[in-house]
Structure 1
Amino acid sequence: MHALIVLSHPDPASLSHAIAARIGEGIVAAGHAFEIADLHGEGFDPRFLPGDRASHRGLAPRPADVVAEQKRIERADAVVMVFPVYWWSMPALMKGWIDRVFSNGWAYDDSGEKVIKKLGHLPIHLVGIGGADMGTYERHGYLEAMRTQIDHGIFDYCGAPVAASELLLQSDGPDQSNNLHAAAVIGQNVFG
């Protein structure tokens, strides 16, 4: 099986990149394959432009860069999204990728009386990397807010089941061996 790891972090030497690589190692150790979509490294444009709007309304074809990303997803048996937590959510670049790529007509269809969810076959694994501890997330309701917004608000709307929603925390500490080990385990479990 094949996983697409979507990564959003500007620094190739970041913990986010190391965690994405470790997830990939876990996927390979479990006998599967993966590719990484490095949104910063590849220069993905997250802006929802007039062409995206026209496509959303059924007045124009999808932009070529969006079609290319959708084809990458179509080759995958699962998508793993790795991102640092910025302001209790994902970075703007990753959100812009979702805004453009998980488009009307492809991820869902809202042209009728009822929304048709089109991604029921695509398990999603979310891996957020945060500097705070779990007590902070729970005390302020951030964990529930993230799950409501991302897990339910985005992926359930498209029908894509969220197979895992993980937070790897205290990413500012000097020893990241626990987070890197957890990432390898996440990779080993992507397909079961």
Structure 2
Amino acid sequence: MRVLVLYAHPVETSFQAAVHRTVVEALTRAGHQVDDCDLYAEGFDPVLSRQERIDYHDLARNRRNVDPYVERLLNAEALVLVYPVWNFGFPAILKGYFDRVFLPGVSFRMEGGKAVNNLQNIRKLAAVATYGGARWKALLVGDPPRKNVKRVLRAQTRPFGRVPYLAHYDMNRSTEATRSAFLRSVSKEMERF
């Protein structure tokens, strides 16, 4: 299966970088064809410009600045997001990816004034995230990243099947043992993805 891995963390020595490596290695071991999109390393610009917003609903123009990213998304059969949760949300670069790449004609199409999901090529979806705070804090605010993956993104792709959401909470107080256990869980989940 062709898997697009979207990775969003700027520090190559971080635990998130180890999580990213684990995801890519496990998917590769499982025989998947991995398109590893490291948004920071690729210098992805997350800012939706004024002109891009003006051209947003113009299907002939809206892809022009992000067409290579659109093509990668449309060529994928699965999508795996790897990111830290910052301020109970996606990192800005990942949010900007969704703003700039999940365009009309790409992630949805308009039919009779209604948005219809368009990413039927994405048959599987997963996310691997780390949170600085405890799970109860994320739950207290509704855990927006989890909801975005399991509800919003799921609705834009093929809507059936499970959506693994692997999260290591309380990174601020994590230990070598908790981090190692999480990496093992990630590896197992990605090998059976």
Classify the TM-score, shorter chain. 0.7 to 0.9
Q: TM-score normalized by structure 1?
A: 0.86
Partner of residue 12, structure 1? 12
1:169-180 to 2 correspondence within 5 Å? Answer: 169-172=169-172, 173-175=174-176, 176-180=179-183
Worse-matched range after superposition: 145-154 or 119-128: 145-154
* CA contact 2:6–2:79 (8 Å) conserved in 1: yes
Letter in 2 for 1:148: K
1:162-185 deviation line (CA, Å, top 9, x unaligned): 722221223332412012112212
Worse-matched range after superposition: 104-113 or 38-47: 104-113
* CA contact 1:51–1:60 (8 Å) conserved in 2: no
Partner of residue 142, structure 1? 142
Distance in 2 of aligned mates of 1:124 and 1:80 = 6
Matched, 1:81 2:70: no
Quote how far apart the aligned CAs of 1:90 are: 0.8
Letter in 1 for 2:163: A
Q: CA RMSD in A?
A: 2.1
Partner of residue 187, structure 2? 184
Distance in 2 of aligned mates of 1:108 and 1:64 = 17
Quote how far apart the aligned CAs of 1:35 are: 2.4
* CA contact 2:83–2:90 (8 Å) conserved in 1: yes
Letter in 2 for 1:185: K
Quote how far apart the aligned CAs of 1:12 are: 1.1
Q: Which runs of 5+ in 2 are unaligned?
A: none
Higher relative contact order (CA 8 A, sep 6+): 1
Distance in 1 of aligned mates of 2:190 and 2:59 = 40
Cα 1:93–1:65 shift into 2, 3 Å: same
* CA contact 1:108–1:117 (8 Å) conserved in 2: yes
Cα 1:160–1:113 shift into 2, 3 Å: same
1:32-181 to 2 correspondence within 5 Å? Answer: 32-58=32-58, 61-110=61-110, 112-122=112-122, 123-138=124-139, 140-143=140-143, 145-156=144-155, 158-161=156-159, 163-172=163-172, 173-175=174-176, 176-181=179-184
Distance in 1 of aligned mates of 2:38 and 2:75 = 17
Distance in 2 of aligned mates of 1:55 and 1:44 = 19
Identity %: 25
1:12-34 deviation line (CA, Å, top 9, x unaligned): 11111111110111112212221
Q: Which runs of 5+ in 1 are unaligned?
A: none
Distance in 1 of aligned mates of 2:158 and 2:86 = 23
Q: For 1:3, what is the secondary structure of its paired residue?
A: strand
* CA contact 1:5–1:37 (8 Å) conserved in 2: yes
Cα 1:111–1:14 shift into 2, 3 Å: same
Quote how far apart the aligned CAs of 1:74 are: 2.1
